[in-house]
């Protein structure tokens, strides 16, 4: 997927969306200014029109429609078979060729035997049930497009691989050892991960590499993990220069260490997130990524050596001072500080602008619902 043609227009469009959603909802107490939530959460009948969610994304992943134009597929069986999945299991729905909006018949814990390899145009929608994908390999989005993952608990993910795994009704193949990420995006595009709770995986919670782009990561609650989010494969892998990722309205919570995110090459818009815990640093990068940090709240740890939000990885200052990293309207607490570099002018951040930031003073209310919501039929989420 090519980069967004004119990100300034995207930003303007999202700004208009934010203002419109604020106008529409002024009479409703559930409005928070979190544009994604304000688009659907106020509707007590969300369950009768689940697919409406697909029109609520913002940022670089806003065109991810998932399974909006397909049938509803109901997961009734928490079991798993990597090569011959039974109808009613999550894997059976995930690998189909046609668009599907996947929902869950009841609360379930799904311990996958191998990584779940999604086919294009799929939504995994956990609303209305307590759904955990945990204790085994987790989710892989590889060379596919239009994926929405919403309302799922993803934790304690392990490595998979050295095994055959089916990725479509017609094809299965040998998989080498996987990293053990919560969600691994590999050459994927138009991906939206929203309102998930992620913790304690073997490698990353959400990693996007190998030319992945057009991604929004929003409203997630991330806890108890070391290397939280890697965006960009390696310093030498220049195809990641097309990468554009929006990280918005997330709560980076207790027990996190570093990489929130760690960026390479591409364009990263980090906007209106709440950073309450990090042990080493919050936002890092190498290989000249463009990082546009706006309207976030950064609460530094007590250790004096770790109060810097940013980390320019393994690079001399003579090089990193040319990288475009800026902080605009961020709130710095407990001695937190952001080391900017490169250009300050807005024009240099055009390709890293995907929505209009709200003031950092609103971050608490906008991220209060981060993570999996307790949605029940007939009630607002």
Distances (CA, A) of 277 to 55, 225, 262, 329, 331: 32, 11, 16, 19, 14
Return all residues near 248 (Cβ < 8 A) that are at least 6 apart: 36, 58, 59, 216, 217, 218, 219, 269, 271, 272, 273, 355
Q: What is the pLDDT of residues 293-334, one digit of tens each?
A: 999 999 999 999 999 999 999 999 999 999 999 999 999 999
Across the chain, what does the average pLDDT equal?
94
Structure tokens at 347: 């024009």
Q: What is the pLDDT of residues 163-181, one digit of tens each?
A: 999 999 999 999 999 999 9
Give me the pLDDT at residue 9, please: 60
- Report whether 50 contacts 125 (CB < 8 A): yes
Distance, CA of 339 to CA of 236 (rounded, Å): 24
Q: What is the pLDDT of residues 243-300, one digit of tens each?
A: 999 999 999 999 999 999 999 999 999 999 999 999 999 999 999 999 999 999 999 9
Q: What is the pLDDT of residues 357-375, one digit of tens each?
A: 999 999 999 999 999 999 9
pTM: predicted TM-score of the whole model, two decimal places: 0.94
Give me the pLDDT at residue 10, please: 60
Give me the pLDDT at residue 344, please: 86
Give me the pLDDT at residue 30, please: 75
User: For 7-366, CATH number?
Assistant: 2.160.20.10
Structure tokens at 371: 């993570």
Give me the pLDDT at residue 166, please: 99
Q: What is the pLDDT of residues 178-201, one digit of tens each?
A: 999 999 999 999 999 999 999 999
Distance, CA of 94 to CA of 118 (rounded, Å): 5
User: 3-state secondary structure string, the chain?
Assistant: CCCCCCHHHHHHHHHHHHHHHHHHCCCCCCCCCCHHHHHHCCCCCHHHHHHHHHHCCCHHHCCCCCCCCCEEEEECECCCCCCCCCCCEHHHHHCCCCCEEEEECCCEEECCCCCEECCCCEEEECCCCCEEEECCCCEEEECCEEEEEECCEEECCCCCCCEEEECCCCCEEEECCCCCCCEEEECCEEEEEECCEEECCCCCCEEEECCCEEEEEECCEEECEEECEEECCCCCCHHHHHCEEEEECCEECCCEEECCCEEECCEEEEECCEECCCCCCCEEEECCCEEEEECCEEECCCCHHHCECEEECCCCHHHHCCCCEEEECCEEECCCECCCECCCCHHHHHHHCCCCCCCHHHHHHHCCCCCCCCCCCCCCC
Higher-confidence residue of 234 and 25: namely 234
- Report whether 211 contacts 240 (CB < 8 A): yes
- Report whether 270 contacts 293 (CB < 8 A): yes
Catalytic residue numbers read 259
- Report whether 276 contacts 299 (CB < 8 A): yes
Give me the pLDDT at residue 25, please: 45
Q: What is the pLDDT of residues 77-114, one digit of tens each?
A: 999 999 999 999 999 999 999 999 999 999 999 999 99
- CA 368 centroid distance within chain: 17
Give me the pLDDT at residue 26, please: 45
Which of 21-35, 48-62, 125-139, 355-369 shows the lowest mean pLDDT across its residues? 21-35
């Amino acid at each position: 997927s090519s980069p967004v043609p004119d990100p300034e227009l995207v930003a303007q469009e999202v700004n208009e969306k934010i203002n419109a959603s604020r106008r529409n909802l002024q009479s409703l107490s559930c409005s928070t200014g979190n544009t994604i939530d304000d688009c659907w959460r106020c509707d007590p009948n969300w369950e009768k029109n689940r697919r409406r969610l697909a029109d609520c994304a913002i940022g670089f992943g806003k065109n991810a429609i998932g399974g909006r134009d397909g049938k509803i597929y109901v997961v009734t069986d928490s079991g798993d078979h990597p090569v011959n999945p039974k109808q009613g299991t999550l894997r059976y729905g995930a690998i189909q060729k046609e668009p599907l909006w996947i929902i869950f018949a009841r609360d379930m814990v799904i311990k996958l035997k191998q990584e779940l390899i999604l086919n294009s145009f799929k939504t995994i929608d956990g609303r209305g049930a307590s759904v955990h994908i945990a204790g085994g390999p987790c989710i892989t989005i590889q060379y596919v497009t239009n994926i929405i993952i919403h309302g799922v608990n993803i934790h304690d993910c392990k490595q998979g691989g050295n095994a055959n795994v089916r990725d479509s009704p017609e094809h299965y193949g040998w998989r080498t050892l996987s990293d053990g990420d919560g969600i691994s995006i590999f050459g994927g595009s138009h991906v939206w991960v929203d309102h998930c709770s992620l913790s304690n995986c073997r490698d990353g919670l959400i990693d996007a590499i190998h030319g992945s782009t057009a991604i929004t990561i929003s409203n997630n609650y991330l806890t108890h993990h070391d290397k939280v989010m890697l965006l960009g494969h390696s310093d030498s892998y220049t195809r990641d220069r097309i990468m554009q990722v929006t990280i918005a309205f997330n709560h980076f919570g207790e027990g996190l260490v570093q990489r929130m995110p760690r960026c390479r090459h591409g364009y990263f818009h980090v906007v209106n997130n709440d950073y309450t815990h990090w042990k080493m640093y919050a936002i890092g990068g190498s290989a000249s990524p463009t990082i546009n940090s706006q309207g976030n709240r950064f609460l530094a740890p007590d250790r004096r050596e770790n109060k810097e939000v940013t980390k320019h990885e393994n690079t001399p200052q003579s090089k990193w001072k040319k990288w475009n990293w800026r902080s605009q309207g961020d709130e710095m607490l407990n001695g937190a500080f952001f080391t900017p570099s490169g250009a300050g002018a807005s024009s240099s951040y055009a390709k890293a602008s995907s929505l209009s930031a709200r003031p950092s003073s609103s971050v608490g209310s906008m991220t209060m619902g981060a993570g999996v919501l307790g949605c029940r039929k007939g009630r607002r989420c």
